[in-house]
Amino acid sequence: MRLLVIEDENLIAEGIKLACIAEGFVCQIAENGNDGLEMIHFYDYDIIILDLLLPDMSGHEILAKIRMFKRNIPVIVLSGLNSTEEKIKCFSNGADDYLTKPFSRNELLARIYAIMRRASGHYSSILEIGTLAIDFNNKIVTIYGQEVQLTNKEYTILELLMFRRGSIISKETFLNHIYGGMDEPDLKIVDVFICKLRKKMAKVSGGINFIKTIWGRGYSVKEQEEIEQEHPSFKFNRLKAG
Ligand code: CA
């Protein structure tokens, strides 16, 4: 999960960043609107946390611009303003949520998780593809109900694949997600993580390969139908969401 916080108040921005890092998210900060828009343009974010009062432009202006070129990216507005008019204006400009300052760390995280679930089309914190299930809240991956023991980086890769199921994720995007633009190693490291992830998942599932390689473009997670085609003898028991 990769977040961008557009906020000029350093204490608030750093507080959000620490909370996000503790959850295993990658979090970047932009101190003004122009920097924020530039970062959104060049990087892929899963959620934007946007302050309304910024030194160079208003949050409303930023929101409108975000909606022009990245339609679907979820935006949580942060504001000291508590008026109904302000909130309505934000929602009609395309905000997904509105949080009034001061706010608690836990409330912000709960809202981030709620948005993640909505964005992935699931109202439960558990996302399933056939027998493969990921619990975003507890960071647990299971196959046939049996836990797959993953390192943080392996988990982050699988979380991104499942969160963006149906799309191809490039190695650059994985690196950005894992390292957040800091001390990024060679792209080849992504292949190494994918290889380890596949082995661990194959061990628990009895040989199923859940991750597809799209040569020259990246990786994506397979849908149940694809897995069933490759493993016709396999019985699939749908796990019930907790
Ligand atoms: Ca501000």
185 compared with 213, residue with greater pLDDT: 213
Task: Please report how many Cα atoms fall inside a 13 Å half-sphere around the Cα of residue 138, on the Cβ side.
Answer: 12
> How many Å lie between the centroid of ligand 1 and the Cα of residue 96?
19
Of 85-89, 181-185, 224-228, the range with the highest mean pLDDT is 85-89
Q: State percent of the chain over pLDDT 70.
A: 93
Our measurement of the distance from residue 78's CA atom to the centroid of its chain's CA atoms, rounded to an integer in Å, reads 19
pLDDT of residue 111: 92
Are 36 and 8 contacting, i.e. CB atoms less than 8 angstroms apart?
no
Q: What is the tens place of the pLDDT at every residue in 157-189?
A: 999 899 888 889 999 889 888 887 677 789 999
- Is the pLDDT at 241 greater than 50, yes or no? no
Tokens of 187: 């792209």
**Cα(46)–Cα(73) distance, integer angstroms:** 6
Q: Is residue 212 classed as helix, strand or coil in its secondary structure?
A: strand
> How many Å lie between the centroid of ligand 1 and the Cα of residue 186?
37
> How many Å lie between the centroid of ligand 1 and the Cα of residue 19?
19
> How many Å lie between the centroid of ligand 1 and the Cα of residue 79?
8
> How many Å lie between the centroid of ligand 1 and the Cα of residue 129?
41
**Cα(224)–Cα(175) distance, integer angstroms:** 26
- Is the pLDDT at 216 greater than 50, yes or no? yes
> How many Å lie between the centroid of ligand 1 and the Cα of residue 53?
4
Kindly provide the b/e burial profile for residues 87-103, where b requires at least 16 CB atoms within 10 angstroms of the residue's own CB.
bebbeebbbbbbeeeee
30, 97, 142 from 200: Cα distances, Å: 38, 37, 11
> How many Å lie between the centroid of ligand 1 and the Cα of residue 52?
6
Average pLDDT over the chain reads 88
**Cα(186)–Cα(202) distance, integer angstroms:** 26
Residue 239 binned pLDDT confidence (cut-offs 50, 70, 90): very low
Pairing, β 47-51 against β 75-79: parallel
Q: Is the peptide bond before 74 cis (omega within 30 degrees of 0)?
A: no
> How many Å lie between the centroid of ligand 1 and the Cα of residue 86?
15
Our measurement of the distance from residue 66's CA atom to the centroid of its chain's CA atoms, rounded to an integer in Å, reads 17
Q: What is the tens place of the pLDDT at every residue in 43-70?
A: 888 899 999 999 999 999 999 999 888 7
Which residues have a Cβ under 8 Å from the Cβ of 17 and sit 6 or more positions away? 5, 27, 29
Which residues have a Cβ under 8 Å from the Cβ of 60 and sit 6 or more positions away? 52, 89, 90, 93
Q: In what order do the strands lie in the sheet with 2-6?
A: 26-30, 2-6, 47-51, 75-79, 97-100
> How many Å lie between the centroid of ligand 1 and the Cα of residue 110?
22
Residue listed under structure tokens 């504001």: 79
- Is the pLDDT at 224 greater than 90, yes or no? no
> How many Å lie between the centroid of ligand 1 and the Cα of residue 99?
13
> How many Å lie between the centroid of ligand 1 and the Cα of residue 21?
22
Span 192-197, mean pLDDT? Answer: 97
Tokens of 19: 């909370």
pLDDT of residue 131: 87
> How many Å lie between the centroid of ligand 1 and the Cα of residue 194?
40
- Is the pLDDT at 135 greater than 80, yes or no? yes
